[in-house]
Each structure stands twice: as structure tokens, then as C-alpha cells.
């Protein structure tokens, strides 16, 4: 049975004090980000991806991104309701990912000094390899459980770049050691196509939400 999974990285949120998710309000995406999420869902439909099932990280920025995609994906029928929220797709301190806010700040500063995104530092530095592998396995296990229940459908999952999406893909596809990691941009989508429980293709679509000149959003 063929099943399609759309892994969607959350869009850009506004700036709020601190890194505690409790301080980030529900409507946290910027106006432009909300527009991109909606248009991304529309473009997914135009590419033939009509979302049947929708799961999200519990973080508001992921939920809001997914809601925008769902609204754009089914403008005539109306968006499907969120099927469920799963911590294994979240950005909380799960899966042996013990970074304090101070450590996160230090890593961002180190990445800036090296001139690379923080996600690239986390995903490529050997200090974090075991932790990242645990995070990937944790998310992949939950994704496979969802496949068992929703096989043959198109499943959207809103999650996080660096800490979740790329490690999940690695866990499912067993990327060769030393192979380059493709980092999903904010609002970007990765299409995983499964035969039963085996991935047979991975396609990086980027952020589909940028409206070309002359096109009505």
C-alpha cells in the first residue's frame, strides 16, 4: 500500500521574550508567514497532494503553520481538523536532547561565529551525533505508528528543522555516513513516499509559499 507523508517545517514566528514556549502566544506567526503557509497548502494541492490526516508538534508555531497549510489545501471543502498533536514531533527536551536555554544561546553564537545556521551545527557536530540519532529514532517510531493506522493516505506532519525533521529522515532512510545533510528551510516541505512501511522516495520541495510575481495568492 502506498502512503505519502508531508513533513512540514514551521514557518517564521514573531519575536517574543525568552525561549520558553509558554511565553509564545498561539497566534505567533508573522502575517507574511501565515500567508505563505496558506499558499503552500494551495500549491501542495496543485501538485496533487490532498491532505487526509494532519499531525503536529505541540508547539504553537508548528500548529499554526499546519492550520495555514490545511486551509490552503482544501479551499472548497474546508480544512480537515487536526488529527492529533504528538510530542515526538516537537521541539521540547525529549529524546535525550538536554540543551538548556543557556546552551542553546551558546550554540547559536558558535554557529554565527562559524557562519553557519544553528541547525547545521547541531546536525553535523560529532558532539551531538548520539543525541540527534535518538531524536530521529523517536520521531520515526511515531511516524511508523501513524502509517500503520493511516496507510494509503496523505499525511501531513508539522515539525521542526534541525532537531526533528532531518533526524527523522535519516532514521527512516539510513543516510550514508559522511553524506551531505539537506536542511529544510522554514515553511519548507519534504515529501516521503512509502511502499507499506519502506521509504521509496524523498523529495525536498522547499518553501512553496512564496507567491510568484503576477500570481494571486
Q: What is the pLDDT of residue 94?
A: 39
In the structure, what pLDDT confidence band is assigned to residue 104 with cuts at 50, 70 and 90? confident
pLDDT digits (tens, 9 = 90+) for 114-161: 998 888 888 888 888 888 888 899 999 999 999 999 999 999 999 999
Which of 183, 182, 194, 166 lies closest to 3 in space, CA to CA? 194
User: CA torsion, points 139, 197, 156, 100, in degrees to nearest 10?
Assistant: 10
Please report the sign of the dihedral spanned by the C-alpha atoms of residue 98, residue 102, residue 103, residue 108. positive
Instruction: Cell numbers for 140, please give them.
Output: 520515526
The DSSP H or E segment spanning 69 is helix 60-73
pLDDT digits (tens, 9 = 90+) for 167-177: 999 999 988 77
Based on the number of CB atoms within 10 Å of its own CB, is 127 exposed (0-12), middle (13-18) or buried (19 or more)?
Answer: exposed
DSSP code string of 185-201: PTT-EEEEEEETTEEEE
**Which residue is associated with the grid cell 525536498?**
204
As a whole number of angstroms, the distance between CA 41 and CA 63 comes to: 14
Instruction: Cell numbers for 142, please give them.
Output: 511515531
As a whole number of angstroms, the distance between CA 189 and CA 54 comes to: 14
The count of other CB atoms within 10 Å of the CB of residue 52 is 15
Domains of the chain, CATH where assigned: 2-12+26-98+128-206 (3.40.50.1240)
- Asked if the model's pLDDT at residue 192 lies above 90, the reply is yes
pLDDT digits (tens, 9 = 90+) for 12-60: 876 655 544 445 556 679 899 999 999 999 999 999 999 999 999 998 8
Amino acid at each position: 500500500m502506498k502512503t505519502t507523508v508531508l513533513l512540514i517545517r514551521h514557518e517564521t514566528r514573531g519575536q517574543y521574550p525568552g525561549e520558553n514556549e509558554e511565553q509564545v502566544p498561539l497566534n505567533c506567526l508573522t502575517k507574511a508567514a501565515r500567508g505563505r503557509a496558506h499558499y503552500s497548502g494551495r500549491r501542495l494541492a496543485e501538485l496533487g497532494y490532498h491532505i487526509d490526516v494532519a499531525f503536529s508538534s505541540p508547539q504553537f508555531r508548528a500548529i499554526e503553520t499546519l492550520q495555514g497549510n490545511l486551509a490552503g489545501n482544501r479551499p472548497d471543502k474546508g480544512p480537515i481538523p487536526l488529527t492529533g498533536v504528538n510530542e515526538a514531533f516537537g521541539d521540547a527536551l525529549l529524546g535525550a536532547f538536554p540543551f538548556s536555554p543557556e546552551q542553546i544561546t551558546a550554540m547559536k553564537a558558535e554557529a554565527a561565529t562559524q557562519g553557519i545556521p544553528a541547525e547545521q551545527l547541531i546536525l553535523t557536530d560529532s558532539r551531538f551525533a548520539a543525541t540527534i540519532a535518538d531524536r530521529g529514532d523517536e520521531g520515526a517510531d511515531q511516524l511508523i505508528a501513524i502509517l500503520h493506522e493511516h496507510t494509503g493516505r496523505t499525511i501531513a506532519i508539522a515539525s521542526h528543522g534541525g532537531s526533528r525533521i532531518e533526524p527523522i529522515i535519516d532514521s527512516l532512510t539510513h543516510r550514508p555516513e559522511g553524506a551531505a545533510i539537506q536542511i529544510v528551510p522554514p515553511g519548507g516541505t519534504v515529501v516521503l513516499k512509502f511502499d507499506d512501511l519502506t521509504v521509496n522516495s524523498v523529495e525536498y520541495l522547499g518553501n512553496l509559499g512564496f507567491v510568484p510575481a503576477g500570481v494571486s495568492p
